């Protein structure tokens, strides 16, 4: 076996996606990759994109390829990140949906956007600056290392999708279990954020479920804007955070008008 083929087999696993740009950087030319495909080591998926033979690639192979071979700042996010960290009480809304965040308006390659069997949900409108590495975590997904949003950020991403893509009640179910978030990370995140509604909802749920980490935050540093925000139609106004919530969430406290 040639040293180049041996290197390829050592640095990939069955089902791994392999880009020609990455192969070229590692001294495997297009003609040599084509030869490996002819001999059954690689399966050609489309121009410049191969999969290591032996298993059908899945969405996690595509994301791992994007992160590792293109160094793209695209991360497993929101509901998907919480689910894979074991913080979701039940399965996602649809198994085919995968939540992603993409920094700096990163353009996703065509092969990735059209990857079969998955509906990428790219979160936008987070109104956050670029965050440092403490807001990322490394997960093992289907045997691969995937960089994902840390729980504090994933919760924020989830709440940014209420009520358009996630119901208030579903978000509440998930937030109830977030009992051990890092208060310093949450505080800094909400200080940096310019998304008033998302910040208010984050603090509302923390207060409603009486999470201990909320007491260790300095909420006075967080700009919560002014004026009411309607999150749910026909809801009741929580006067502390000036958001409308479903009536069953008015059972605790007196901050309602």
pLDDT digits (tens, 9 = 90+) for 82-117: 999 987 655 454 567 899 999 878 899 999 999 999
pLDDT digits 0-9 by tens, 104-155: 788 999 999 999 999 999 998 899 998 999 999 999 998 999 999 999 999 9
Q: Which helix (H) or strand (E) holds 139?
A: strand 136-141
- Roughly what angle, to the nearest 10 degrees, separates helices 196-208 and 168-176? 50
Residue 239 has pLDDT above 80, yes or no: yes
- Smallest Cα–Cα separation from 136: which of 146, 147, 128? 147
- Roughly what angle, to the nearest 10 degrees, separates helices 196-208 and 151-160? 120
- Smallest Cα–Cα separation from 99: which of 112, 118, 85? 118
Residue 255 has pLDDT above 60, yes or no: no
Mean pLDDT within 32-61: 97
């Amino acid at each position: 076996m040639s040293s180049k083929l041996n290197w390829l087999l050592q640095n990939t696993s069955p089902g791994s996606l392999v880009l020609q740009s990455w192969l070229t950087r590692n001294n495997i030319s297009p003609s040599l990759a084509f030869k490996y495909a002819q001999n059954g080591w690689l399966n050609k998926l489309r121009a410049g994109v191969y999969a290591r033979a032996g298993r059908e690639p899945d969405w996690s192979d595509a994301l791992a390829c994007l992160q590792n071979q293109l160094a793209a700042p695209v991360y497993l996010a929101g509901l998907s990140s919480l689910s894979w960290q074991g913080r979701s009480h039940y399965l996602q809304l649809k198994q085919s949906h995968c939540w992603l965040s993409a920094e700096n308006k990163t353009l996703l390659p065509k092969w990735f956007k059209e990857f079969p069997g998955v509906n990428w949900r790219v979160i936008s409108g987070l109104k956050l600056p670029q965050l440092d590495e403490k807001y990322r975590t490394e997960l093992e997904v289907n045997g691969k290392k995937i960089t994902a949003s840390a729980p504090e950020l994933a919760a924020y991403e989830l709440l940014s999708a209420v009520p358009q893509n996630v119901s208030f009640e579903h978000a509440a179910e998930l937030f109830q279990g977030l009992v051990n978030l890092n208060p310093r990370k949450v505080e800094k995140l909400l200080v940096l954020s310019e998304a008033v509604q998302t910040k208010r909802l984050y603090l509302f749920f923390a207060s409603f479920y009486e999470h201990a980490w909320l007491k260790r935050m300095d909420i006075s540093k967080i700009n919560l804007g002014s004026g009411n925000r309607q999150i749910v139609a026909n809801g009741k106004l929580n006067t502390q955070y000036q958001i409308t919530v479903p009536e069953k969430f008015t059972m605790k406290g007196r901050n309602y008008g």
